[in-house]
A = this chain, B = another copy of it.
Amino acid sequence: MVDVDKLKPMANALRMLSIDAVEAAKSGHPGLPMGAADLVTMLFTRHIRIDPADPDWPNRDRFVLSAGHGSMLLYSLYHLLGYEDFSIDQLKCFRQLGAVTAGHPEYGHGKGIETTTGPLGQGIATAVGMALGERLLNAQFGDQVVDHRTFVLASDGDLMEGVSHEAISLAGHMRLKKLIVIYDDNEISIDGPLKIAETGDVVRRFEAAGWRAERIDGHDFGAIDAALTRATQSDKPTLIAARTVIGFGSPNKAGTAGVHGSPLGTAEAAATRSALGWTAGPFEVPEDIRDSWRIVGLKSAQAHRDWRTRYEAMDAERRAEFDRRLRGDLPSEFAPAMTKLRQALLSEKPAMATRKASERALNTVNAVLAETVGGSADLTGSNNTKTDHVAPIAPGDFSGRYVHWGVREHGMAAAMNGLALHGGFLPYGGTFLCFSDYSRPAIRLGALMGIRVVHVMTHDSIGLGEDGPTHQPVEHLAALRAIPNLLVLRPADAVETAEAWEIAAEYKGPSILVLTRQNLPVHSPGPATQNRSRRGAYKIVTTQKPEATLFASGSEVEIVVEAAQLLAAEGVAADVVSVPSFELFFQQDEDYIDSIIGGTTVKVACEAAIRQGWDAIVGRNGGFVGMTGFGASGPYKELYEHFGITPKAVAAKAKALLGR
C-alpha cells in the first residue's frame, strides 16, 4: 500500500526546497524540514484532507507546525501541493522583507498558514483550541458539515515549554480524540544532544494526561502510515513520538545541533544533494515529483467536493447562520440588545463591581451571540464569567459553551486563540488581571494575528484587598497597553462595562476587559443611544471655565469625580475625563484628542497603578496619583488611604499645580 519509492523523492523535494531556500536566505533552519519531511509526506499523501484550491475550506483538517522555525517545510509543502500564495518566487525570497515566506509562519501572510508559530509551545496549545472548536461546532451544526482533524508537528522545545503541559492535560481531559500530535523526536536541542537537558519519558507523560501515545521510526513510511491510521481510530487524542534524524540526508551534519538553525553551506548542500540522489538544480523539482504532489492535492480536494454537497443540502437559514458564524459577523440583534442594556443600566444606575456588571452584560451577550464560548481559569465565581446560557463542557460532551479551564491561564489563552482561528467562535475567558502575566505569550500572539478573543481580567488593582501584592496588579495595565493591536478596556461603571463588551465583540483583534472586585457607582452620562467608550476617553464632568482637568480609568473615576467636588467647594473648576481605553483614544482625530486634553494646562491623572503611559495624556509635568511600587495585604479602603490614592490627594495635586 505504501509506495516508498514514490514517497522518498517526494520527501526529498521538501528537503531540497528547504535547503535551497535557507541557502538563498543565508539564514534559517534546515534541520527540521530535512528530518520531518518523511512524516509530513506520509501525513499529507494519505491522511490529511485539505484543498489547495481553497485553503479556507471550513471543514479542512488543520495542520499546525508548532515548531515554527521549520517554516520552510510548510512553505515547500504548500508550494508543491499547489497553494497559490506559495509560488517558487516566494520560496526564493524566504525570510526577505515583504515575502509571505517569513522566518516563522505568520498567520495572514499566505493562505494555508493556520496560525502564527515560533514561540515554542504556542502551536500545540493553539491546536487544542482548534480541536475543541471542531468538536463544539460539530455539536452545534452536525457531522455533515463539521468533522475534521487537527494535526500538529511539534518539536522537543514545544514539549519542554510549560504551556504544553496545560495544553496536553486539557486535551486529554476533554478527550479531544481528533487531535493528533506528531512529535519530531530528533534527540537534538540547540545546546546539543537533548539528553543534556531532558530525559523524561514523553510517551508515559502523554499517557498520564489521558492520551494514546506510541513511538515509531519517523523515517519508516509504513510505520508512519500505520500509526496515523491508529491515531484516527482512537477515542483519545494521540501522540506519535517519531524518532527522526535532524538534517536527514546531510552526510556530515545530520544528527547534530549544527544543522538546526544555520544554512548547510554550499559544500554541504551539494553533498546532501548528492547523498539524496537529487540531480535537479536549486529550486528545481523534477516534473514527475511535482506531479505526485499535485495529485495529492487534487485527491485530497475530493473531500471538499463531497462536503460541499452536504453543505448545500443544509436548510437555508441554518446555512446562513453557519456562514455568519464562520465569517465572524455579529447578528443584527446584537447592537439593539446592547443599547437596550445600556438604557436599563442608565435608568437603574446600579452600584456594582464591574466584574458583576460584566456578568450582567454577558447575560445579554450570551443570549444574542450563539458563538460565545466562555470560561475561566478556575475562578468562575470571582470572574463572573458564567451565565445560564452557557452550560459547561464535559469530557467527550461538547454540547455546552463553557469551559472549566482549570488553573491553566496560559493554556486557556492559547486555546482561545485556537477557537478564534478555527472560526465560528467568540471565545472569552477569565482570570485575575495579575495572572495575565501567565498568559502573556498567547495574548501577544493573538494581538500579532489580529484575532478576536476577549480576556476577562478581574481583581484589577489594590482594590482586591487582602490577597496582597502577589495578586494586586500595579504594572499590568501599562504592560498590556504596551502590546500593539491589543485593546485594553478598563470601564468605570456598569454602563462602560456593557460598552466595553460591545466594543470587544466588534473588534477584529484581542481585547482585555479590566474589571474591579469592588463596587462602583454609575458615572456615565449617557445617552443610551451612544457608546461613549468608543472614543476611548470622554468628559463626564464639564465645568464652565475649567482650571484643571482630572483623568482616570475604572475604579479611580469615582475618586476624581469626588476630587472635582472637593475642588469645586474650594472654588476651583475642574473637568473630569473617564479614560476606558488608551488605544481607542489615541485613534481619534487630533481635534477630538485636543478637546479632551487640550482644555487646561493643569492636568492630573489618577489610576491605582504605575504612571507609565499617562505622560502621553497629562504630560511630563502633569500630576499623577497612583502607585509607585507593589501593593500590600489589607482591607482595600485602607490600602487606598495607605497609598494615598484619594480624592483629597488628587485635589491637592491639582491645587499644587495651580499654585494655590
Query: Is the CB of A610 closer than 8 A to any CB of chain B?
Result: yes
Q: Are A160 and B407 in contact (CB under 8 A)?
A: yes
Given A380-B190, A467-B104: A162 touches B173 (CB 8 Å cut-off): no
Closest Cβ–Cβ distance, residue A155 to chain B (whole Å): 9
Interface residues on A, range: 35 or more
Query: Is the CB of A612 closer than 8 A to any CB of chain B?
Result: yes
CA A166 to CA B165, docked complex, whole Å: 9
Residues of B with C-beta under 8 A to A408: 160-162, 197
Query: Is the CB of A437 closer than 8 A to any CB of chain B?
Result: yes
- Choose from B118, B162, B467 the contact partner of A470 (Cβ within 8 Å): B118
Q: Are B97 and A639 in contact (CB under 8 A)?
A: yes
- Choose from B379, B404, B440, B615 the contact partner of A616 (Cβ within 8 Å): B615
Q: Are B612 and A612 in contact (CB under 8 A)?
A: yes
- Choose from B173, B197, B441 the contact partner of A378 (Cβ within 8 Å): B197
Query: Is the CB of A465 closer than 8 A to any CB of chain B?
Result: yes
CA A484 to CA B205, docked complex, whole Å: 38
Closest Cβ–Cβ distance, residue A185 to chain B (whole Å): 14
Residue of B nearest to A118 (CB): B470
Query: Is the CB of A99 closer than 8 A to any CB of chain B?
Result: yes
- Choose from B202, B210, B392 the contact partner of A199 (Cβ within 8 Å): B210
Copies in the complex: 2
CA A106 to CA B468, docked complex, whole Å: 9
Query: Is the CB of A267 closer than 8 A to any CB of chain B?
Result: no
Between A69, A478, A638, the greatest number of chain B beta carbons within 10 A of the residue's beta carbon is seen for A478
CA A410 to CA B163, docked complex, whole Å: 10
Closest Cβ–Cβ distance, residue A114 to chain B (whole Å): 15
Q: Are A638 and B97 in contact (CB under 8 A)?
A: yes
Query: Is the CB of A546 closer than 8 A to any CB of chain B?
Result: no
Closest Cβ–Cβ distance, residue A581 to chain B (whole Å): 15
Q: Are A470 and B482 in contact (CB under 8 A)?
A: no
Q: Are B189 and A378 in contact (CB under 8 A)?
A: yes
Query: Is the CB of A142 closer than 8 A to any CB of chain B?
Result: no
CA A67 to CA B539, docked complex, whole Å: 44
Q: Which of A267-324 contact B (CB under 8 A)?
A: none
Select the stretch in A221-229, A248-256, A624-632 that faces chain B.
Answer: A624-632
Q: Are B482 and A478 in contact (CB under 8 A)?
A: yes
Given A97-B639, A156-B407, A408-B161: A466 touches B632 (CB 8 Å cut-off): no
Given A210-B199, A475-B483, A616-B620: A118 touches B379 (CB 8 Å cut-off): no
Q: Are B484 and A197 in contact (CB under 8 A)?
A: no
Residue of B nearest to A395 (CB): B199
Residues of B with C-beta under 8 A to A471: 103-104, 118-119
Q: Are A104 and B470 in contact (CB under 8 A)?
A: yes
Query: Is the CB of A157 closer than 8 A to any CB of chain B?
Result: yes
Closest Cβ–Cβ distance, residue A62 to chain B (whole Å): 19
Residue of B nearest to A100 (CB): B633
CA A189 to CA B437, docked complex, whole Å: 21
Query: Is the CB of A376 closer than 8 A to any CB of chain B?
Result: yes
Q: Are A441 and B437 in contact (CB under 8 A)?
A: yes
Residues of B with C-beta under 8 A to A204: 204, 207-208
Q: Are B612 and A613 in contact (CB under 8 A)?
A: yes
Q: Are A470 and B448 in contact (CB under 8 A)?
A: yes
Residues of B with C-beta under 8 A to A440: 437, 440
CA A563 to CA B210, docked complex, whole Å: 60
Residues of B with C-beta under 8 A to A116: 470
A386-397 vs B: 1/0 string, CB under 8 Å?
A: 000000101100
Given A169-B200, A189-B378: A633 touches B97 (CB 8 Å cut-off): yes
A106-127 vs B: 1/0 string, CB under 8 Å?
A: 1000000000111111000000
Q: Are B68 and A470 in contact (CB under 8 A)?
A: yes
CA A476 to CA B161, docked complex, whole Å: 20
Q: Are A191 and B157 in contact (CB under 8 A)?
A: no
Query: Is the CB of A634 closer than 8 A to any CB of chain B?
Result: yes
Residues of B with C-beta under 8 A to A469: 102, 106, 448
Q: Which of A409-455 contact B (CB under 8 A)?
A: 409-411, 434-435, 437-438, 440-441, 444-445, 447-448
Closest Cβ–Cβ distance, residue A67 to chain B (whole Å): 11
CA A404 to CA B192, docked complex, whole Å: 9
A507-545 vs B: 1/0 string, CB under 8 Å?
A: 000000000000000000000000000000000000000
A193-218 vs B: 1/0 string, CB under 8 Å?
A: 00011111111110111100000000
Q: Are B392 and A466 in contact (CB under 8 A)?
A: no
Given A475-B484, A610-B484: A468 touches B209 (CB 8 Å cut-off): no
22 example contacts (A-B, Cβ-Cβ < 8 A) are as follows A95-B466, A97-B633, A102-B632, A102-B633, A104-B633, A119-B434, A119-B438, A160-B378, A162-B166, A169-B198, A189-B378, A191-B376, A196-B394, A200-B209, A201-B208, A201-B209, A202-B208, A207-B208, A474-B484, A479-B482, A482-B612, A613-B613
Q: Beyond A106-B468, A484-B628, list 9 extra A-B contacts (CB 8 Å).
A: A28-B466, A95-B634, A97-B638, A118-B468, A119-B434, A162-B408, A164-B165, A196-B404, A197-B378
Q: A-side interface residues toward B, CB under 8 Å?
A: 25, 27-28, 68-69, 95-99, 102-104, 106, 116-121, 156-158, 160-166, 169, 172-173, 189-192, 196-205, 207-210, 376, 378-382, 392, 394-395, 404-411, 434-435, 437-438, 440-441, 444-445, 447-448, 465-471, 474-475, 478-479, 481-485, 610-613, 615-617, 619-621, 628-630, 632-635, 638-639, 642
